Structure 1
Amino acid sequence: MGSDVHTEKYEEQQDQITIRDRIVALWDAKGLTAKELEKASGLDRDKWYALRNGRRRANEEDIMALVKVFPEHALWLVSGETAPEAGQTSPEA
């Protein structure tokens, strides 16, 4: 029973983490500057800054750009889940 409570709390925390949060975490984990992210993704750095600073929400264009640059993090980016056996990891892995 104690483990069920722990699992529920973990799932609640994961539900509160947004795709925007994961984009920022991925950006930080890779240690990229906004200019480097712009070059790698093809999206203007001002868009990335606005997303980081909460001035806009993540959209399909952001997600697709990052999935092309970091395909190994695609599942984690959109769901927060990993599947190491399929090559899908979090940036912390």
Structure 2
Amino acid sequence: MDAVRNRALQLIRAVGPKHLSELGGKNYERWRNISGGKIRISTEEVGILAEAYPQFALWLISGRTEPENGHISPDGAPSA
């Protein structure tokens, strides 16, 4: 789960806690505390990220990308 957590943190930091709070589901302070490492991300937040950013869902959960199928990483780098 640490790898998933690290990828989730990367995505949260890329889009920002404010934007995520505007999507609904969780408040700004919660996303900010997750981003800052003060609290651990829950499966609910991972689900919110996957739903809000389906193009990153495969990468978020597995670390893999399939650009030919529209599954990319936030930085656009292909996975190994």
Fold shared by both chains (TM-score > 0.5) = yes
State the 1:20 CA deviation.
2.3
- Which of 12, 17, 29 matches 2:14? 29
Q: Distance in 2 between matches of 1:47 and 1:28?
A: 13
Measured after TM superposition, the shift of residue 60 of structure 1 is 1.1
Return the offset for 1:29: 2.9
8 Å contact 1:19–1:78 — kept in the other structure? yes
Residue number in structure 1 paired with 2:21: 38
3-state DSSP of counterpart to 2:68: helix
Alpha-carbon contact 2:12-2:35 (below 8 Å) kept: no
Distance 1:38 1:45 in 2: 5
5+ residue gaps, structure 1, are 1-16
How far is the alpha carbon of 1:27 from its aligned partner?
2.6
Q: What is the total number of aligned residue pairs between the two structures?
A: 76
1:90 equivalent to 2:73? Answer yes
Change (3 A) 1:56 1:28: closer
Q: Deviations over 1:8-60 (max 9, x none)?
A: xxxxxxxxx62222122113333x3x222101242111211221122222211
Q: Is the helix fraction higher in 1 or 2?
A: 1
Partner amino acid for 2:11?
Answer: L
Q: Please report the RMSD computed on the Cα atoms of aligned residues, expressed in angstroms.
A: 2.0
* Higher mean C-alpha displacement, 80-89 vs 39-48: 39-48
* Runs of at least 5 residues in structure 2 that lack an aligned partner in the other structure: none
Matches within 5 A, 1:11-26: 18-26=3-11
Residues in 1 aligned to 2:50 and 2:42: alpha-carbon distance in whole angstroms: 12
Percentage of identical aligned residues? 33
